[in-house]
Amino acid sequence: SQQGEEDPQALSIQEGENATMNCSYKTSINNLQWYRQNSGRGLVHLILIRSNEREKHSGRLRVTLDTSKKSSSLLITASRAADTASYFCTAYNNNDMRFGAGTRLTVKP
């Protein structure tokens, strides 16, 4: 399966610190996407990185992709309490797109 697997499962930091989450997948991909989900709500698309890209930025977010290691990382800089949420990656390949367990990020004010 094309499941993305995030680590760590839970991360607790102070406001202003950086948060790094990792994602690994198993086979070749078209692209990899990161999503955020606040408790009990829908998904918010954060960023998409294609298989031929190595790094993308969006505001305080930085995503890297290493296709040789089949892994990606999401860095949130200067975290805020509002960043508290669960973060998921999905590794997409044609007709297969699944989620890992996610990383639960808690940013303490």
Partner 1 sequence: GAVVSQHPSWVICKSGTSVKIECRSLDFQATTMFWYRQFPKQSLMLMATSNEGSKATYEQGVEKDKFLINHASLTLSTLTVTSAHPEDSSFYICSASYSRGRGTEAFFGQGTRLTVV
Choice between 76 and 89, CB closer to partner 1:
89
Per-residue binding letters, 1-40, with partner 1 (x by CB under 8 A): -----------------------------xx-x-x----x
Choice between 15 and 61, CB closer to partner 1:
61
**Interacting positions 42-101 with partner 1 (CB under 8 A):** 42-43, 45, 48, 50-51, 88, 90, 92, 94-101
Kindly determine how many residues on this chain lie close enough to bind partner 1 according to the rule CB under 8 A: 24
In the complex, the smallest distance separating the C-beta of residue 29 from partner 1, rounded to whole angstroms, is 10
SS (H, E, C) the chain: CCECEEECCEEEEECCCCEEEEEECCCCCCEEEEEEECCCCCEEEEEEEECCCCEEEECCEEEEEECCCCEEEEEECCCCHHHCEEEEEEEEECCEEEECCCEEEEEEC
Residues whose CB falls within 8 Å of the CB of residue 64, separated by 6 or more in sequence, listed in order:
49, 54, 55, 72, 73, 75
Binding residues (CB under 8 A) for partner 1: these are: 30-31, 33, 35, 40-43, 45, 48, 50-51, 88, 90, 92, 94-102
